[in-house]
Structure 1
Amino acid sequence: MSEATPPTRSLPDKPKSRTGWIVGIGIAVVAIIVAVVLVIVNISGSSSSTAADKRVTVKIGTTEQAAPWWKPLKTAAAKEGIDITVVGFSDYTQANPALSTKQIDLNLFQHLQFLANYNVNANDTLTPIGSTLVVPLPLYSDKYKSVDELPQGAKIAIPNDTTNQARALLVLQKAGLLKLKDGGNALSTPADILAGESKVTVIPVDAQQTAPALKSSDAAIINNNFALTAGIDPSSAIFKDDPSSSSAEPYINTFVARAADKNNKTYLKIAELYHTKAVEDAVLADSKNTAVIVKRPNADLEKILADLEKTIKAAK
């Protein structure tokens, strides 16, 4: 009989290491943290990208590109996601065609009378989208200190563009220096002057040349912006019209847009921001407190414009 085989003893189970599952948990935690960070970064990046995508650049044409009030207007607009680019023009005749042909988005340089005249003559439909101010149209002289001192036959330089010329003639009539046929109107020209009843003669020149013309004439009607550029003190004017009167409505300055854009929220926001305190304060300071801030509903501005255009068409 063979010898019995001793029973086989199995080795005890190897103790399971805790390192593995700790490492596993650690990896999982790290993965979760990385995922969360990526999500946060992605969301943050997406928000920044979205904010950047929402910014809008608006080109505004003007003849007053150096005016100090552009700075607070740009600052206010930037906070609303609007970047304003100011496009300067050397004279009044350029900014409306540039707007009509989409070289710029808005313009800010003209009053309603000027706009009406342009629309009728160019068969255009540019539209006011926000009032800004009315400025007086003053009479200056380097030789005389009052209207009464002007001699018979005195030569007075006036702007030769259609709308400012008519307003200048009305100012001179109001000052008692000349008389216009049928009392004059927003379309009056030098041909309407009643020479026999007038004390002065007028010399129409380019609006930019009215300030230099002071040296060669007895007096000059000079638009406020050109007077300030020439360093003329507005308080030295010997006469000016009343910018706060109802008769000054045709001379309300406005932001102007293409008709198709008159309800553009971005453009309307810019016109609204013009009336923030910082901007208005800068405007008044720049005008030496001669300007009168005007805030009229756009429906009123459109009505005034339509009436002016009707009058101009009827006179043709």
Structure 2
Amino acid sequence: MKLRRITTTAIAGLFAATALVACGSDSDGSSTSVAEGTDGVKIRIGTTDAAKEAWTVFEDKAAAEGIELEVVPFSDYSTPNEALAQDQIDVNLFQHLKFLAEYNVGSGEDLTPVGATEIVPLALFWKDHDSLDGIDGQSVAIPNDPSNQGRAINVLVQAGLVTLKTPGLITPAPLDIDESKSKVSVTPVDAAQSPTAYQEGTPAIINNSFLDRAGIDPKLAVFQDDPNSQEAEPYINAFVTKAEDKDDANIARLVELWHDPEVLAAVDRDSKGTSVPVERTAAELQTILDRLEEAQAAS
């Protein structure tokens, strides 16, 4: 089965009036959802990673099951949830639970996680070092954007290098660090500058996208967060749909197909061996999301 893609250029044109992707509408102007086509089921799925190998393998697996994926590529992180909320796509796969919680609280929507995919651990790098030995007293460069900054500080908490004034914060800020009880201090920098800090000899927490651009081997990390820890739960990536579609059997089958060994192998290659597959039920993901949304609403 030939799978149809919609180009980013076409999407941009359709965004002009509403700032939302408009695709897959019926001739009468109404939006279609997961639908039965002449050859089987058709599902419109949005992602920011359409060019990666894993998506090609995933599409092939879905086609073999009679599911035609209409992959809608996005070039930013703000529009896939808006498109889903407006019924322009049926499901998306691009975000972790913390990002979803921030969107739901900010927008008043009730988008729902229906299946876990993976976690990409966030790691600490220190040039010419292979352990944390001798790091006491150093200042660690951390990304300064709110989401990555909080996670980076929690990486240092897990490493035993930083103590928080109030334990258990989901998104701590530098002001939440108890400096008198911590072994290192932190220096927030633009995430794009973290590889530069590393190259200059400063310990730095660097996310995967900038590791790849800077040509830094992920295996050089001296510490990374534990993907099985509670601190890592907000960063589980997930399939997300509207609440009324959370029990759709075809979308549930997509979740299963993402965990096919061939798809997982492609994900591993795409991430250069850093991604960690996660299997959590939809109910477990919703429990985590509820906790994150409560914290987000209170912040």
TM-score normalised by the shorter chain: which range applies?
Answer: 0.7 to 0.9
Q: Which of the residues 274, 277, 302 maps onto 2:261?
A: 277
301-310 vs 142-151, which deviates more? 142-151
Q: RMSD across aligned C-alpha pairs, in angstroms?
A: 2.8
Scaled by the length of structure 2, what TM-score is found?
0.76
1:251 Cα deviation from its structure 2 partner: 2.3
2:85 match: 100
1:117 match: 102
Q: Could you list the runs of 5+ residues in structure 2 that have no partner in the other structure?
A: 1-35
Cα pair distance change 1:107/1:149, threshold 3 Å: farther
SS in structure 2 opposite 1:182? coil
Cα pair distance change 1:296/1:151, threshold 3 Å: closer
Q: Percent identity?
A: 42
CA deviation string 1:96-134 (max 9, x = no partner): 233323443322222222222221222221110111112
2:186 match: 201
Given residue 276 of structure 2, which amino acid in structure 1 is its aligned partner?
V
1:78 match: 63
CA deviation string 1:65-89 (max 9, x = no partner): 3322111101011122333344444
Given residue 101 of structure 1, which amino acid in structure 2 is its aligned partner?
Q
Tell me how far apart the structure 1 counterparts of residues 246 and 66 of structure 2 sit (CA, whole Å). Answer: 19
Tell me how far apart the structure 1 counterparts of residues 172 and 244 of structure 2 sit (CA, whole Å). Answer: 32
Q: Which of the residues 270, 282, 285 maps onto 1:298?
A: 282
Confirm or deny: 8 A CA contact 1:157 1:217 kept in the other structure: no
1:186 Cα deviation from its structure 2 partner: 0.5
Cα pair distance change 1:159/1:147, threshold 3 Å: farther
Cα pair distance change 1:167/1:260, threshold 3 Å: same
Cα pair distance change 1:240/1:293, threshold 3 Å: same
Q: Which of the residues 44, 47, 51 maps onto 1:61?
A: 47
CA deviation string 1:9-37 (max 9, x = no partner): xxxxxxxxxxxxxxxxxxxxxxxxxxxxx
Tell me how far apart the structure 1 counterparts of residues 131 and 73 of structure 2 sit (CA, whole Å). Answer: 35
Tell me how far apart the structure 2 counterparts of residues 157 and 249 of structure 1 sit (CA, whole Å). Answer: 20
Tell me how far apart the structure 2 counterparts of residues 88 and 124 of structure 1 sit (CA, whole Å). Answer: 22
Matched, 1:220 2:204: yes
Confirm or deny: 8 A CA contact 1:68 1:286 kept in the other structure: yes
SS in structure 2 opposite 1:119? helix
Given residue 299 of structure 1, which amino acid in structure 2 is its aligned partner?
A
Given residue 97 of structure 2, which amino acid in structure 1 is its aligned partner?
L
Cα pair distance change 1:212/1:261, threshold 3 Å: farther
Confirm or deny: 8 A CA contact 1:61 1:87 kept in the other structure: yes
Matched, 1:166 2:140: no
2:174 match: 190
1:181 Cα deviation from its structure 2 partner: 1.5
Tell me how far apart the structure 1 counterparts of residues 234 and 164 of structure 2 sit (CA, whole Å). Answer: 19
Cα pair distance change 1:124/1:217, threshold 3 Å: farther
Confirm or deny: 8 A CA contact 1:61 1:104 kept in the other structure: no
Structure with bigger gyration radius: 1
SS in structure 2 opposite 1:69? helix
300-309 vs 95-104, which deviates more? 95-104
Tell me how far apart the structure 1 counterparts of residues 123 and 180 of structure 2 sit (CA, whole Å). Answer: 24
Cα pair distance change 1:290/1:173, threshold 3 Å: same
Cα pair distance change 1:193/1:247, threshold 3 Å: closer
Cα pair distance change 1:152/1:209, threshold 3 Å: same
Whichever structure has more helix as a proportion of its residues is 1
Confirm or deny: 8 A CA contact 2:116 2:239 kept in the other structure: yes
Scaled by the length of structure 1, what TM-score is found?
0.72
Aligned residues: 263
Confirm or deny: 8 A CA contact 1:127 1:258 kept in the other structure: yes
Tell me how far apart the structure 2 counterparts of residues 97 and 219 of structure 1 sit (CA, whole Å). Answer: 37
1:225 Cα deviation from its structure 2 partner: 4.4
1:232 Cα deviation from its structure 2 partner: 2.5
Confirm or deny: 8 A CA contact 2:40 2:68 kept in the other structure: no
